Amino acid sequence: MQSKRISQAIAFTLFKLMSYAVIVILVLILGFIISRGIGVINWEFLTAAPEEGMTKGGIFPAIVGTFYLIIGSSLFSFPIGIMSGIYMNEYATDNKLASFIRIMTNNLSGVPSVVFGLFGMALFVNTLGFGDSILAGSLTLGLLSLPLVIRTTEESLKAIDNSFREGSLALGATKLQTIQKVVLPMAFPNIITGLILSIGRVSGETAPILFTVAAYFLPKLPNSIFDQVMALPYHLYVISTSGTDIESSRAMAYGTAFVLISIILIINILASVLRNYFAKKVKMN
């Protein structure tokens, strides 16, 4: 009896400690970045271009570039991903094509991001002739997030009980009407969460934009989708490894990391707020 209780207590303590460890790690990372980076954060840092070999000035072009890439990749991956997710869950649940797509999607999400970068360079930059551009970078990032969008959509739709579909079909609704008016609205809170989280992923990626869009130093904003841009993760990489004066740009690097982490944090908070909002709305109307 005694030993049973002791092993129970040990197991419980172990589980508890491990889960606390996760929090400690996160707090350490955040605390480290914030304490080092917060000093350089001011209005100029957020709104000015880098100066003097990127040791002074701000990171505004990189912030703007990251936002353009988020929007561009979303325009590409959301429609394709959502529609194929719908196809796979609603139309082709049990056929060979769907399971083939599913396997391919899983494989795609296992491809290292630097390989996406290389592929993006070969296809979009060179073969299709987009050059190093927002377009090429957005398409590459879109490819990267596509498996996530498909998977999210499929899982969200799968969570909707079949009885709702049957209820709608039994009233003479077509399959498309059922998807539009019943299934999608119910799945929407979960889908939107997944979409926003995929944005978080995209905004932090460095490798895919390395060869396709990111500019080393470009203090002006882009004029078209065929221009290069700076982007936060790549900027962070540049000023941490190959700036003109790495030591004096160190503070800038932590500031950049702070901004990048803040953006992703805000995106995640936004995801849960929107999720709750839509979950309530779906119930009410």
Partner 1 sequence: MLTIDAKNVDFYYSEFHALKNINLEVEKNKVVALIGPSGCGKSTFLRLLNRMNDLIDGTRMTGSVLIEGKDIYAPGIRVDELRKEVGMVFQKPNPFPKSIFENVAYGLRVNGISDKNFIEERVVQSIKSAALWDEVKDKLNKSAFALSGGQQQRLCIARTLAISPKVVLMDEPASALDPISTAKIEELIYELKKDYTIMIVTHNMQQASRVSDKTAYFYLGEMIEYDDTIKIFTNPKELSTQNYITGRFG
Residue 106 Cβ vs partner 1, minimum distance, rounded to whole Å: 23
Any idea what DSSP says for residue 219? -
Size of the site for partner 1 (CB under 8 A): 24
Could you say whether residue 18 binds partner 1 (CB under 8 A)?
no
Could you say whether residue 98 binds partner 1 (CB under 8 A)?
no
Residue 11 or 282: which CB sits closer to partner 1? 282
Token pair 């999210």 is found at: 152
Could you say whether residue 104 binds partner 1 (CB under 8 A)?
no
Could you say whether residue 247 binds partner 1 (CB under 8 A)?
no
Residue 50 Cβ vs partner 1, minimum distance, rounded to whole Å: 50
Instruction: Quote the distance between the C-alpha of residue 31 and its chain's center.
Output: 22
82: how many CB neighbours lie within 10 A of its CB? 21
Tokens describing residue 73: 């990749």
C-alpha to C-alpha distances, 35 to 90, 110, 215, nearest whole angstrom: 49, 34, 28
Residue 185 Cβ vs partner 1, minimum distance, rounded to whole Å: 7
Residue 15 or 91: which CB sits closer to partner 1? 91
Could you say whether residue 262 binds partner 1 (CB under 8 A)?
no
Residue 114: closest CA among 122, 126, 102, 106: 122
Could you say whether residue 31 binds partner 1 (CB under 8 A)?
no
Is 98:161 a contact under the CB 8 Å cutoff?
Answer: no
Name, in order, each residue with C-beta under 8 angstroms of 271's C-beta and a sequence gap of 6 or more.
Answer: 192, 193, 196, 197, 200
Residue 183 or 231: which CB sits closer to partner 1? 183
What gap in Å lies between CA 112 and CA 210, rounded to an integer?
14
Q: Which residues, numbered 123-182, are part of the site for partner 1 (CB under 8 A)?
A: 161, 163-174, 177, 181-182
Residue 42 or 99: which CB sits closer to partner 1? 99
What residues make contact with partner 1 under the rule CB under 8 A?
93-94, 161, 163-174, 177, 181-182, 185-186, 282-285
